Amino acid sequence: MNKNDLVASVASATDLSKADAAKAVDGVFDSITKELSGGGEVRLVGFGTFSVARRQASQGRNPRTGEKIQIPASNQAKFKAGKALKESVN
């Protein structure tokens, strides 16, 4: 499922127009992104939790040349599925 499929699904499930459903989906994505950008987390009970994980700087190796390279520290978005989502998938 891609974003357009998601918008169509939300539109049919909520009796909204596709334009209104697209605004709603974009609003949810923007809100999650904004919260994670600030270092926070988003907990959706029964669905899951979006959070930010800090990755430390490390040393890697270029597979072509064997040269050692420095990998900088970074933040990674993380998602942990909630109990209800896990149960519905299994």
Domain hosting residue 17, numbered range: 3-89
φ, ψ of residue 84 in degrees (nearest 5): -65, -40
Q: Tell me the CATH number at 16.
A: 4.10.520.10
Domain count, the chain: 1
pLDDT in tens, 3-57: 999 999 999 999 999 999 999 999 999 999 999 999 999 999 989 999 999 999 9
Q: Tell whether pTM > 0.85.
A: no
